[in-house]
Chain A
């Protein structure tokens, strides 16, 4: 398969996957005795109303970060399933710096929050990178295990030493006032009134452009991609594969850690137990759909944000289906993108009337 025909096959498969996923969604609605058009109503609400779009963008923002996080590792030939843990550690970083310097004015507090989210996320990512580079531990297993550890650490901290004593809810102490990222509705975009979409969206978009530049136009990015293509060839060419591996995981951790800008600094202004609806795992789907292209990730994140918000909307509209429908649809999308030959295999098989290829 040449690069061009593969690209066409992949695009076909992605578009086909979207259509198939929507069909499956309507099918599930029909089976559960619900009006199937409700799915389209929910999805169009999520895009074409200011309120819906506000929430959609709010959900898309963390997915940009986690999508980039997964993509950077992918480009280096590594699999980061640890974005979920890294994002909790990043959120913890924001909380800690705010507790240290609660009265910092916004002009200092917002960058401080971003830096400490990046620092803790990056450190957590580094663990996986070091274990992979120095000990040869498989990064998939390591990151999965680290997810559990990060979640327990953060849960412990926000439930005991950093718990908010004024409420029974599982929440941490609130951030200092200066740490709040301004909402878009506060900077003049009144169409987004009462929605939590905030300025971290702009940070996310800028970050995507920075990562694109880093990967495409710097020697560092070239080395990273080279390791991704062939680590043995890179080693012979004098690139330190171990160093690239660690750096890839550090950058991935930084990116995932920045989810906290949106959910912690931008909206809740504290850490709520389990605030992430699996952003880290959805990030894998986002990166795949965008084929690890940072600009593509912006659009893929928007799609998955729509899906997530649409599914939540659907749960409100219907008493028969639940928002978990989004997971099923996401799975189908991932499958369609990951297995471009699946469509061909299926259609080929149907065309031959169920017979095996000669």
Chain B
């Protein structure tokens, strides 16, 4: 059971980062379905930089740079050039799906994956003194790579930034009333570029975590739809940081459950793996359809008054 909890945390972490990144962009009034692509380039850059420098922290930085640049492609199209944000998101995702194997081929001679990292090149576990001593619970929950702790803290930091700082309030204004913001003398475009930088950086951490902490290499399309699940979590959380955190944990739990169920059987009958893998998506659909009521997106999303 505790193992399932720990696994939930590990699988929720990339979702949390991606969803928080998406939160910045969407609260600024731009639909952002390209979290998947941002995670993917972040993951590749992090794995590659770590491989060459043998330092996971440089890997994280490389991931951040790649993530911000990828998200800024979206900004260039959807914010600066007023392209439809969904279309722009599709383009960025396609770009990321294509550019990562291409670059991988150039750097490593194959499209499938980057060379795997040894254990000491990956992000090591950081035990939390004291808590880690708790029997059973401690080693599983409080002896994790630091990105997991960071992931759990990020939503609260995001809540503070969004609701309590001038920068955050400007993002909210860019999302709900860009004209009012412009009237107040602040350019919504500029606010959005900055929100995208923060959003891209956060979402890239999701990819970085996957590549150099959760796994030991970048593999092709390793994000496997997590960017979309994160987006769904963001909608369930109604674009609010802390509820979104819980939505991510919920999806992380289903993901952990499906991995757990794959190796077990219920009453001598083993459930086909495909149906188990379907679980998180079906759960998301059912929730979307029935239990959350109408989600109200930021008002400026989908409007051409940018």
Chain B proximity of A27: nearest CB distance (Å): 12
> Which residues does chain A contribute within 8 Å of B98, judged by CB atoms?
324-331
Judged by a CB distance under 8 angstroms, whether A103 is at the interface is no
Nearest B residue (CB) for A311: B98
Q: How far is the CA of A160 from the CA of B80 in the complex (A)?
A: 50
Q: Is the CB of A141 within 8 A of B231?
A: yes
The main secondary structure of chain A at its interface with chain B is: helix
> Which residues does chain A contribute within 8 Å of B80, judged by CB atoms?
342, 345
Q: Is the CB of B97 within 8 A of A338?
A: no
Q: Is the CB of A324 within 8 A of B77?
A: no
Judged by a CB distance under 8 angstroms, whether B94 is at the interface is yes
Q: Is the CB of A156 within 8 A of B95?
A: no
Nearest A residue (CB) for B111: A322
> Which residues does chain B contribute within 8 Å of A159, judged by CB atoms?
274
Chain B proximity of A172: nearest CB distance (Å): 14
Residue tally, chain B, CB below 8 Å to A: 45
The stretch among A146-154, A183-191, A223-231 that forms the contact with chain B is A146-154
Binary per-residue interface labels of chain A (260-292) against chain B in the complex, 1 for a CB within 8 Å, 0 otherwise: 000000000000000000000100110010000
Q: How far is the CA of A326 from the CA of B285 in the complex (A)?
A: 32
Binary per-residue interface labels of chain B (98-130) against chain A in the complex, 1 for a CB within 8 Å, 0 otherwise: 110110011000010000000000000000000
Binary per-residue interface labels of chain B (262-292) against chain A in the complex, 1 for a CB within 8 Å, 0 otherwise: 0000000000101101100110110011100
**Known interface pairs A145-B281, A153-B278. Does A327 touch B97 (Cβ–Cβ under 8 Å)?**
yes
The stretch among B12-20, B83-91, B138-146 that forms the contact with chain A is B83-91
> Which residues does chain A contribute within 8 Å of B275, judged by CB atoms?
152, 156
Q: How far is the CA of A327 from the CA of B99 in the complex (A)?
A: 8
> Which residues does chain A contribute within 8 Å of B294, judged by CB atoms?
136
Chain A proximity of B77: nearest CB distance (Å): 5
Judged by a CB distance under 8 angstroms, whether A320 is at the interface is yes
> Which residues does chain A contribute within 8 Å of B300, judged by CB atoms?
none
Binary per-residue interface labels of chain A (109-152) against chain B in the complex, 1 for a CB within 8 Å, 0 otherwise: 00000000000000000000001000111101110111011001
**Known interface pairs A321-B105, A331-B98. Does A149 touch B288 (Cβ–Cβ under 8 Å)?**
no
> Which residues does chain A contribute within 8 Å of B289, judged by CB atoms?
131, 135, 137, 142
Once A and B bind, how many residue pairs between them come within 8 Å at the CB atom? 136
- Picked from B106, B111, B232, the residue with its CB within 8 Å of the CB of A145 is B232
Interface range on chain A: under 10, 10 to 19, 20 to 34, or 35 or more? 35 or more
Q: Is the CB of A338 within 8 A of B94?
A: no
Binary per-residue interface labels of chain B (62-90) against chain A in the complex, 1 for a CB within 8 Å, 0 otherwise: 00000000000000110011111011101
Chain B proximity of A316: nearest CB distance (Å): 14
Judged by a CB distance under 8 angstroms, whether A28 is at the interface is yes
Q: Is the CB of A81 within 8 A of B90?
A: yes
Query: In the complex, which of the residues A79, A131, A155, A327 has the most CB atoms of chain B within 10 Å of its own CB atom?
Result: A327
Judged by a CB distance under 8 angstroms, whether A32 is at the interface is yes
> Which residues does chain B contribute within 8 Å of A340, judged by CB atoms?
81
Chain B proximity of A244: nearest CB distance (Å): 18
Binary per-residue interface labels of chain B (197-235) against chain A in the complex, 1 for a CB within 8 Å, 0 otherwise: 000000000000000000000000000010010011001
Nearest A residue (CB) for B76: A342
Q: How far is the CA of A320 from the CA of B76 in the complex (A)?
A: 30
Chain B interface residues (CB < 8 Å from chain A): 31, 33, 76-77, 80-84, 86-88, 90-92, 94-95, 97-99, 101-102, 105-106, 111, 225, 228, 231-232, 235, 272, 274-275, 277-278, 281-282, 284-285, 288-290, 294-295, 297
Chain A interface residues (CB < 8 Å from chain B): 28, 31-32, 79, 81, 131, 135-138, 140-142, 144-146, 148-149, 152-153, 155-156, 159-160, 281, 284-285, 288, 320-322, 324-332, 334-335, 338-342, 345
